[in-house]
Amino acid sequence: MSLRNTRPTRQYARPWGCSAALRRGFSLLEVLVVISVIAILLGLLSSALSASRRAGLNLRCISQMQSIAFEFRIFADDFSARSRGESEQLGPDRFYIDDFQDSMYRIDEFWDAGPYALVPYEGRQTMMCPAGPQDLSRRPGLTAFQDALWPPQNVSLAFNRRLWRDGVTPGIRQLSSRVLSFPNTPLVIDIDGAAATAASHESTYMAPPVPDRDDIYATGAYWYPSFRHGVSVNVAFIGGHVASSKSPMTESSWRWDYVP
């Protein structure tokens, strides 16, 4: 008799709880866990990217505001100033801040776009906050106060209104190079143009009420700051620096009360 056919066959036991059917794919529970983990990771990534984008826009806004303050110092300096537009009728040592504003937007006597009724404010968009509305056009033959900027609710940066009208004396204030001696006076502020326009006020100037000053700004009717930078408002000063604040009216070193 041959022993070949009587040799016992070796049997291998499967691990406990394991079956061929279960090893062929993922269970529903495993798939749901993987999807949940991916969703959490995407949420974290999205938040990080949003925060990074906001920080980038804020840095651009600060840089542009510094440029505005720098240009203002040149415009206000009697020896460095280039063309001052209609302010040149006042003589070499006086100017209106609205002429500086028009020069920054390139409107009225600073128009540079040829015979067009309406052109986008493109190119040197220094006067548009990167975190604000991106659709803004300009019209010839008008000043910023006369709605040369369209639509007015999309204006995102405003000048200190007390440098334009002091709130007590009728008429527009005349400035001189002496204004450069007050470096902590706000020059340009983030504005909510839509809120200002809805209140039938210009979106190119604003000023807050200040204690112990009885003027047209005392009621807060010309104060529409936009806290678009992480609930902070950016402010550029005559001195050339830029600061951010969650409560710009209470900053003790900011000279909101200064009038020319």
For 130-169, the three-class secondary structure string (H helix, E strand, C coil) is CCCCCCCEECCCCCHHHCCEECHHHCCEEEEHHHCCCCCC
The per-residue pLDDT for 1 is: 47
- In whole angstroms, give the CA distance from residue 5 to residue 117: 104
Mapped onto helix, strand or coil, the DSSP state of residue 160 is strand
Q: Is the pLDDT of residue 5 over 70?
A: no
Q: What percent of the chain has pLDDT over 70?
A: 87
Question: Among candidates 193, 118, 98, 105, which has minimal Cα distance to 153?
Answer: 193
Element at 74 (helix H, strand E): helix 28-76
- In whole angstroms, give the CA distance from residue 138 to residue 158: 16
The per-residue pLDDT for 67 is: 96
pLDDT top residue among 173 and 8 = 173
- Categorize the per-residue pLDDT at 215 as very low, low, confident or very high, splitting at 50, 70 and 90: very high
Our measurement of the distance from residue 9's CA atom to the centroid of its chain's CA atoms, rounded to an integer in Å, reads 81
The per-residue pLDDT for 25 is: 67
- Categorize the per-residue pLDDT at 16 as very low, low, confident or very high, splitting at 50, 70 and 90: low
Is the Cβ–Cβ distance between 176 and 221 less than 8 Å?
no
Is the Cβ–Cβ distance between 160 and 188 less than 8 Å?
yes
Mean pLDDT (the chain) is 88
Mean pLDDT of 148-162: 97
What DSSP state is assigned to residue 151? Answer: S
The per-residue pLDDT for 33 is: 79
pTM equals: 0.81
pLDDT in tens, 60-81: 999 999 999 999 999 999 888 7
Question: Among candidates 182, 240, 165, 254, which has minimal Cα distance to 211?
Answer: 254
- In whole angstroms, give the CA distance from residue 53 to residue 31: 33
Q: Is the pLDDT of residue 34 over 60?
A: yes
- In whole angstroms, give the CA distance from residue 187 to residue 107: 19
Mapped onto helix, strand or coil, the DSSP state of residue 222 is coil
Is the Cβ–Cβ distance between 83 and 76 less than 8 Å?
no
Q: What percent of the chain has pLDDT over 90?
A: 69
Q: Is the pLDDT of residue 12 over 80?
A: no
